[in-house]
Amino acid sequence: MRYTLIIPAAGQGKRMGAGLNKLFLPIASVPLIIHTLRVFEKDEACEQIILAVNADEQPVFERFIKQYDIKKQIVFAIGGQERQDSVYNGLLQAGKASYILVHDGARPFITIEIIQSVLAEAVRKGASICAVPVKDTIKRVEDGSVVETVERSKLWAVQTPQGFHLSTLSEAHEEARKIGYLGTDDASLVERLGKAVGVVSGSYFNIKVTTPDDLVVAESFLARG
Ligand code: CTP
Ligand code: MG
């Protein structure tokens, strides 16, 4: 089964605090977004990549894609205010693709194996995510005091890619827009509709590069090979 990939890449990297889109930051001398694109470049099942970017940053992405010789077909979409808007704009470019994978530009350590199992699960169930069991104890805190300790055995840290039948993801996004629902991932929009979302194993290496310490971790992952 082949798929179209949407990569939301239009964030501002506020938590990174680098003063530019974190996807342009080098990891082992290569821009973060290029590491991510290289994985999908190798995946024959990936038919095309839709990259949702801020309009004024598109020339930078284009320059890197050329410089690092990424050959997969890449179509640009306009990034939105929120990640969800960026994915929605990407979805409008998806044409008739039957399956869509959505993957954060900021997760460069994704593997073909995880991509394949997310896709297979999306084909089976209509929607899928990858996730790992939470390692820390999680508590709900309000005004500086603990309100509740959440039972850890039921908690999973959710990653991308997330996979969907095109019609499922389109319906979920349209419905969310209609009522102004904003989710932090795409699967939550599908869950809202009461539809099944399958879960497969992600990886503790599949980090989302978010804060400056993640850059140190990312460098060490690459050094380790
Ligand atoms: N993203 C996007 N459009 C937005 C916000 C985020 O396409 N309006 C993308 C980011 O570029 C990133 C992915 O969604 O690849 C995950 O978002 P996140 O890690 O939160 O990145 P930023 O939004 O850039 O970071 P921050 O929240 O710290 O500003
Ligand atoms: Mg963000």
Which pLDDT tens digit goes with each residue over 92-130?
A: 999 998 999 999 999 999 999 999 999 999 999 999 999
Q: Is the pLDDT of residue 9 over 80?
A: yes
Instruction: Work out the pLDDT band at 225, boundaries 50, 70, 90.
Output: confident
pLDDT above 90: percentage of residues in the chain:
98
Q: Is 106 in the pocket of ligand 1 (CB under 6 A)?
A: yes
Say what the pLDDT of residue 143 is.
98
Q: Is 104 in the pocket of ligand 1 (CB under 6 A)?
A: yes
Average pLDDT for 167-193? 97
Cα separation, 192 vs 172, in Å, equals 8
CATH number at residue 62: 3.90.550.10
Q: Is 32 in the pocket of ligand 1 (CB under 6 A)?
A: no
Average pLDDT for 177-181? 97
Q: Is 198 in the pocket of ligand 1 (CB under 6 A)?
A: no
3-state secondary structure of 59: helix
Kindly state the helix (H) or strand (E) to which residue 13 belongs, with its residue range: none
ipTM of the complex: 0.99
Instruction: Work out the pLDDT band at 174, boundaries 50, 70, 90.
Output: very high
User: Residue 213 has which token pair?
Assistant: 């310490």
Return the ∠ at Cα 35 (arms to 32 and 41), rounded to 5°.
Answer: 140
Q: Is 34 in the pocket of ligand 1 (CB under 6 A)?
A: no
Residue 47: CA atoms inside 13 Å, Cβ hemisphere, count?
13
| Domain hosting residue 101, numbered range | 3-224
Q: Is 83 in the pocket of ligand 1 (CB under 6 A)?
A: yes
Distance 208 CA to ligand 1 centre (A): 10
Q: Which ligand is nearest to the CA of 11?
A: 1
Residue 176: CA atoms inside 13 Å, Cβ hemisphere, count?
25
Atom of ligand 1 nearest to the CA of 22: 24
Atom of ligand 1 nearest to the CA of 16: 28
Q: Are 48 and 5 in contact (CB under 8 A)?
A: yes
Q: Is the pLDDT of residue 224 over 90?
A: no
| Number of domains present in the structure of the chain | 1
Atom of ligand 1 nearest to the CA of 14: 29
